[in-house]
Structure 1
Amino acid sequence: MTVRLRLTLSYAGLLVVAGGVVAFIIYAVIRLFPNYPLTAANPRDQGPVPTRADILDLIVKLSAYALGFLAIVGLVGGWFLAGWMLRPLQEITAAARKASSGSLDHRIGLTGIRDEFTDLSDTFDAMLERLQRSFEQYRRFAANASHELRTPHAVMKTMLDVAQADPDHQDVPELVKRLAETNQRGIDIVEALLSLAALNNRTVELDALDVASVVRTALPALEAEAHATGVALGDDLSESVVEGNEILLHQLVTNLVQNAIRHNLATGGSATVTVRPGQVVVRNTGSVLDPVQVRTFTEPFAKDRYGAGHGLGLALVARIVETHHGRLDLVSNPDGGLTVTVTLPEADLVGG
C-alpha cells in the first residue's frame, strides 16, 4: 500500500470512528429517556407518538447512513487531501531520481510555510550542491592529474626520439640530466598522489610538539632552492606547542615554503615563515592574485590566472590541516603574492 492510500484510509477511518462515537453518545442519551407513552398538552392535539424504542431504532438507522456517508467523504476527500499533502514529497522524489541518473544541477527549491518538507528540501538541495562541487572537483582533478602524469612521459619520449634520430650529435650528459629531471617530476607527482590517498585512508596519531622546531628542521633543505631562484628566505620563529604529527607537519612546512619560493617574483623576491602560538604563517612576494582564484588553490593542480600551476602542494597542505583539525586561510596580498595562515589546536600541557 502506498503512503497516499494509507493516509486516505487513516483519514476515512478517523472520520468514521468520530462519527460513530457521536452516534453512540446520542444513542446512550436517548436511552435515558423514560419509557412510557408521550402525550400532548392538549388531548385534542394528540396524534401518533413514537416510543423510546422507535426513536432508538431511527437513530441506529440514520447513524448507519451517516457513517456510510462519512466513509465515502473520508475516502474521496482523504485521497485528494493526502495527494496535496504529499506533493512536495513527490517533487523531492523526482529530484532524487534525476540525481541518481547523474544530473546534479537540479534543485527543488520548495517555497511556502516552513515545515518538515521544506526542511527536507533545503537539506537535499544543500547535499546536491556539495555533491556537484565534489564531482566537479574530482573531474578536474582526474583531468589535470592525467595531464600532469602524461607530460613527463611525453617529454622523455620526445628527447629519446630525437636522440635516436641523430645519436652522433647528442650531448649525452645533458640528455641524461634532462631525463633525470623529467623523471623526477613524474616521481614527485606520483608520491604526492600517494600521500593524498594515504591521508584519506588512515588515522594519524597526534602528539604535543613545537612547530618552531619542525620549521627549523625543514628550512635548511629549502634554502638552496631559494638561493638558486633569488628569493630571500627569512623566518621569525616563536615557540608554539600544538597537537600534531611531526612527519606531516614537516611535509606541510616544506610544501608551503616551496610554493612560496616557486610562485614568486623573477628577481628580488622574498618569502617569510612566521611561527606564533597556534599558527604558522608563510608570506611571499609575487604577482597580484585574484582573490576568487585564490580560494581554488587548495584544489589539486589548481592554476592562477597567469597559468602557473600549484600542483598538489597546497592540496596536500589542506588535507594535512584537516587531519590536524585545524584551519587553512589563503589571502592574496594587496601588493602581490600570497599569505597562507595555518591555525592548529594548541596542546594542553596542564595535565601532562
Structure 2
Amino acid sequence: MTRHTARKPFGTVRTRLTLLYTGLFLVTSTILLTVVNLLLTSAVESRVSSIAEDFPLFGEFPPGAPGAPELLVRPKVVDAVNTLPGAVLQYQWTVSAIVIAVLTVVSVVAGWWLAGRMLSPLRHITATAHRLSLSNLHERIALAGPRDELTDLADTFDAMLERLERSVDSQRRFIANAAHELRTPLAVQRAAIQIGLEDPLPGRLVPVREKLLTANRRTERLIDSLLLLAQAEHGLDGMEPVALDSLIRQTVEETAADGVVMGVVITVDTRPVVVAGDPVLLGRLLTNLLQNAVRYNRPGGTVHVGLTATGVLTVRNTGPEVPAERIAELFQPFRRLHSRTRTADGAGLGLSIVLSIARAHRADLTARPNPGGGLELTVRFPVRTGTEPGDHRAP
C-alpha cells in the first residue's frame, strides 16, 4: 500500500535550496553594505572635520572687512559643508536599500534556476523509479555526467535493479518449474483414483474414493491459486487492450454455467471500457470477485456488477455483516472472517489474488461494508491512455 502525504509549505528541496541561497545572499550583502556605509560615514565626517581645521578663519570675517575673502555667499557654503555628511549618507543608505531589493529578486530567480539545474539528475532518477515495475526491470537510469554523488547514487540504483531483475527472473523460473512439478503428480493421483477405484466398488470404499477426489481437487485449486498469486505479484510480462465490459459479461455467463449462482440474482450494468492488461489475469480477477460475491451471500440475495465509462468496476452483494475494522483481513492470504468461513471451498486466497492482480494493472482496490450486510468492492482501472501510476492501496 502506497501512501502519499500532503506536501508541506517549502517542502521541496528546490524551494529550500532557493531560500537558502537567497538568505545567504541577503545576510552577506546586508553585512557588506552596512560595514561599507559605516566606514563611509566615518570617512566623510573625518574629512569634513579636517577641512574645518585646515581653514580656521573660514566664515569669521564679516562681509567687506579688510582681508576678508571676496565670497559674499560664505555662510551658505559653510552650511552646505556642514550638511554634506548627512546628505551623502542618506543617499548612500537609500541606494543600498534599492540595490539589496533588486538583487534579492535576482538572487531568488538565479537560486531557483541553479537549484533546478543541480536537482535535474534527481528528477531523472525519481521519474525512472516511478516508471519501473516488475515488468520493465531491464530499464536503467544510466545517468551521464561528471562523477559526483548523484552519479554514484544512480549507479547504485542501477546495480540494485540488476540484482532485483536477476532475483525476479529466478523466481519466475521457479514458479514455472513448480507449476509443472506440482500439477503433474496431482493429475496422476486423480487419474489413479478415478480409474483404479472404478465402480463397482465395495460400499465401504465409495466414500473413501469421494473423499480422495475431493481432497485432490482442493489441493489442485490451492496450488493453482498460489501460483497465480505469485505470478500476479511478480508483475505482467506483457499488456494488451482488453474490453473490460465484454469480459465482465463473459465471466457472469461462465459463473452461471458452472452452477455457482445458487439462487443469487446477478445484475450487470456496464459501459464500454478498454483497459491495458493481461486478459487471463483480468478474467481471474473478475471470476474471484463474482464468486466471492455469490458464495458469501444469503439465500435469494443479489449481486450487482457495475462498470463506468471511466474504468470504475463495482461489485456489490448482500450477505452477512462485515465489521469495517476487519475488512483489511479479507485481503491477506489464508485469512477469512469467522462469519465468512462456513464453506469448505477455497483457501482464503480469492481476494488476495484480486489485490495482486489489481496492483499489477496499476488499479486501485477499495472495499467497504454495505448497510445491512455484504460488501462493496471497487476497482478503479486506469483507462487505456492512462499509464500514470495510481495510488495502489488496499482497504
TM-score (norm 1): 0.48
Highest RCO, 1 vs 2 (Cα 8 Å, sep ≥ 6): 2
Q: What TM-score results when the alignment is normalised by the length of structure 2?
A: 0.43
